[in-house]
Chains A and B, each alone.
Chain A
Amino acid sequence: MLTLSGVFAGYGGGDILRGVDLTVEKGSITCVVGPNGAGKSTLLKVVSGLLVPRLGSVTFQGESIAGKSPQAILKGGIVQVMQARSLFPDLTVRENIELGAFLINDQKIVQQRFNEILDQFPMVKDRLKDKAGSLSGGQQRTVEFARALMLDPALVVLDEPSMGLEPKAAAAMYGYVRQMREHGRTVLLVEQNVRAGLGLATHGVVLEAGRVRLTGTGKEILENPQMKVLYLGGSTQTE
């Protein structure tokens, strides 16, 4: 569905991604893990069009999307939920969610989706009139999720959905991710909580220093002895 090959990208000075090859299968939950600074967030920016890759190709459903504007990519069916602070704090929850459908002009569809989403996220229903800034961290995340689904995207890109959340809230987020897959969406996510992320994922990708180091199912990767080296350093012998 989404294919990156030989992608080099970075800001100003140097490249942070140095030849990333990655495939996201349709209907999968693909989880990218890796130590800080490995280039996970940069990867997502390339996918969502906020960053133009210097080299390499990015194709989505057979079409090249490298260098396209965020709007064009959104229209193509990729929606991203950013790592932090992506809500508009002074807008109400309802407005925030409706903004997710900014690109849809048919109010009927918007209303219909909105109702669907309310069913999907019961918490949101109770807080529609509150300002987004007044919600707790977990609630804000939920609103971001809800907003992302307004476009009925084929691919949802999540940047660390559990970051800064209490375990219970994080668990709820993971529940939502599963739900998305059940609804037939493909999910690409980046996660620091390796075990949780890979446990959730159907496919795992380990990124390190701007390159893909390991791929496989979530379970395979979790059990791979190289993981400890990647995360805690040292050599496998100390095991």
Chain B
Amino acid sequence: MHISRFGSVASRHKVQLGAALSAVALAVTGLAVPNATAAPKPITIGISVSLSGDFSGDGKATQQGYKIWATWQNAHGGILGRPVVLKFLSDASSPTQVVTNYQKFITSDKVDFVLGPYSTKLTKPASDIANRYHYVMLEGIGGGPSVFSRGLKNVFDVSASATYQLVTYAKWLAATQKPQPIAYATMDDPFIQPMVDFAKAYLDKKGFTDAVYKVYPAETTDFSPIASAVAASGAKIAILGTMPPDGYSMIQNFIQAKYNPEQLILASGPDQGADFTKSVGITNTEGIMVPNTWIPTSNYPGNKDMVALYIKTYGGDINAINADVPEAFAAGQVLAQAVNKVGSTSNVKLQAYLHSGAKFTSVQGPVQFAPDGENSGAAPYVFQWQKGQYVPVLPLGGPDKVSPIETLRPAWGTTPGM
């Protein structure tokens, strides 16, 4: 079976119809397939990932996402009919090394394209380097607002903008509930804090008040005083700007403090699948919400393949997939679609095309770039853990079918059916 390149979304959907299994089968033999003919020169893509240091956990997930995308893309004809070869370098979570790494990709390795590293902090220097050499930087995991406020024309984020991720929930809240006090606690982080602050600004305008608002430093290891402060506020709704590990600790502290909010939404953490359920215990997950740009079970192009490939390659189940994986995967998808459309490896043309308002598809949903490079086409989802399942509940009226939202969380440890 040979699959030619497919330039349109429609034809890709056809491929989608061939179930996940066929893609997996392809992935195994996939690399050999495009080489059946004259072995075209591969398309090289350079990516710096954090394999050690502070970001190493997410760095590795990012790398997995990119790798799976490359496998999948090659199984689907590569880019411009040429196979995709990824080059990874570790940056040890340091901006110094990020600068050097992207210089190397562009000037020594002369890669055709680059994709973004993990985190807002590293995306900023990386995009400067790319800009210097007129390279486009597509990324999905570094969408802090400060990346886009610098006037760079070459950065594009395929994920929903950080600033709007919690607004979906805020809008729903303002529309359905009476104004009441809300407890906020957020990590001091360029990606996370804006999420909470935007939601808070929105809710403040709608008459909601803050029962408590605490910003905690990134290196906090003991969350009990913060959790106590939130618990003591007695607010029925808690909005937390957490990264995965502190989200788990925070929930644990809530349980210990017997604080049982009716609605609990975390910026990230509950989206981490098995990591989350193992850390907080499956029986405590009921009703916890999290915004996300990706639905594991969605029918967006490539998603089922990605999930199958991931499970085949790295094991685990659908819920074990870190959100970094589809974010990286989506960046690759958009790159492939755009380059195939442009028809050349010219980054200048690519940049112009990405700014043209063209629409793309990804495992996370539709992508369309605003002038500053943010994805204006994305609609951030809100997920909720219901009966041990991770299900989308918001937005209402979106393209995907969502489950009804549980507005009253049960007591801790009482997940129905668990």
Is A in direct contact with B (CB under 8 Å) within the complex? no
